[in-house]
Amino acid sequence: MDWTLEVIILPVTDIDRARDFYRDKLGFHLDIDAEVMAGARVVQLTPPGSGCSIALTDGLPNPTGTPKPGTYHGLQLCVTDIDAAHAELVGRGVEVSEPQRYTDEDGATFMYFTDPDGNGWAVQEYRRRKTEPLHRLLTDLAARSTGDTAG
């Protein structure tokens, strides 16, 4: 059985402000903005090229507890060119740190920003994804595990 991480519920204080930030400033695709049941609204957004979305909710019960806005840190996006990603975010008005190159190794360069509530994000440069997109690697892995070499 596959266990796929597809949605992360992100706590925010103002769902419209957060929707606008993620859609307009970060360029996430707006998948859903609807009342899903009486008094419960869900706004789901997906980063370009991602298989995982974020969900902003209002009035949706959570039996395991409700996280406080601004307490999520360590959310991470990956890009193939951090300098281009930095320029794009700055051009969209996002307050983002300068890229920090910890070593010359692929995957060791990061930049950071927070959303309007203070939830913290990292952006990691992973240049290898230009030639080895994650979706293709996962498809190949699945094909090998089932013996289907056509993948």
For 100-112, the pLDDT digits (tens) are 999 999 999 999 9
At 86-139, the pLDDT tens digits run 999 999 999 999 999 999 999 999 999 999 999 999 999 999 988 888 777 777
pLDDT, averaged across the chain? 92
- pLDDT at position 132 is 84
Given a cut of 80, whether residue 11 has pLDDT beyond it is yes
Residue 123's closest CA among 132, 133, 106, 111? 111
> The pTM is what?
0.87
Residue 41 C-beta-side C-alpha neighbours within 13 Å: 11
pLDDT tens digits for 47-100? 998 989 999 999 988 889 888 999 999 999 999 999 999 999 999 999 999 999
Confidence of residue 4 (pLDDT cuts 50, 70, 90): confident
Beta strand extents in the chain (DSSP E only) = 7-9, 29-37, 40-46, 53-58, 73-79, 100-101, 109-114, 120-125
